[in-house]
Amino acid sequence: MTAATLTAPAISVDGIAHSYGDVTVLTDVTLDVARGCIVALLGANGAGKTTLIRILSTLLKPDAGTATIDGHDVTSSPADVRAAISLTGQFAAVDELLTGRENLVLVGRLRHVADANSTADALLARFSLVDAASRRVSTYSGGMRRRLDIAMSLIGDPSIVFLDEPTTGLDPQARQEVWSMVKELAAGGTTVLLTTQYLDEAEALADRIAILHGGRIIVDGTLAELKRLLPPATVEYVERQPTLEEIYLAVVGGASAARDRTLTAAEGRES
């Protein structure tokens, strides 16, 4: 990778347009994503978020405009683009008949990784799936499947990861696990472009936020920059009540801690 490539945006989109027959979804999308950055793409259902991800991952050709990934044009150099990226869709793309480890080894071999078995073991440890490695994925919870799905997407060390609504359908605890993994990816230098409908998710994860509306990116900036678009805040004193999500996580965490203390005491009596 040249010095010019390192300083250029990891993802560069200029004037992308796409229609499905008479239905225009994207009209003039322009967006740059810096390297090692998490960018959240917000938009309502049907705004075109998934369409844009499909174009950037070479699964769909744009009607107009250009897009480059790691300096490679998505239309003229699709093989180079695919070698640089990984895509995790809205639903976990795992084989339920295989074990977690077998899923990872299979993808490793398909991507011609030198030692697929060692790679699988390392990812199982990284994503806290060692204890479930030999179980069929059909027995996994939704959060475990999503963790395995993201682990599979990292085989081959892609520099750019697309996450299309990665926490859809997950419970609060599983969402927190995915959030931690996304932050870890970016901390390791991976560029992440994620689509989401959850505003709290964008606020918790993103370095920059882009809003897709009417076929265009109408806002692109940091959370602080977006807040400055509104009138200055007024100071009000209110009693803050915990959210239901905070209550859930506190109760579940407390129950888990109590169970661990009971097991420890039981083990002490047996010894």
Which domain range does residue 157 map to? Answer: 3-238
Judge whether 258 lies within some domain. no
| Cα–Cα distance for residue pair 172/244, rounded to 1 Å | 10
pLDDT at 181: 83
Judge whether 98 lies within some domain. yes
Judge whether 55 lies within some domain. yes
113: domain CATH number is 3.40.50.300
Judge whether 232 lies within some domain. yes
pLDDT at 123: 92
pLDDT at 228: 85
pTM of the model: 0.78
pLDDT at 85: 93
> Cα(first)–Cα(last) distance of the chain, in Å?
58
pLDDT at 36: 92
pLDDT less than 70: residues of the chain? 1-6, 90-92, 233, 247-248, 254-271
Judge whether 35 lies within some domain. yes
Specify the number of domains making up the chain. Answer: 1
User: Tokens 């790679």 map to which residue?
Assistant: 119
Model pLDDT for residues 245-264, shown as the tens digit of each residue: 776 677 777 655 555 555 45
Judge whether 250 lies within some domain. no
pLDDT at 17: 97
Judge whether 245 lies within some domain. no
Judge whether 251 lies within some domain. no
pLDDT at 1: 52
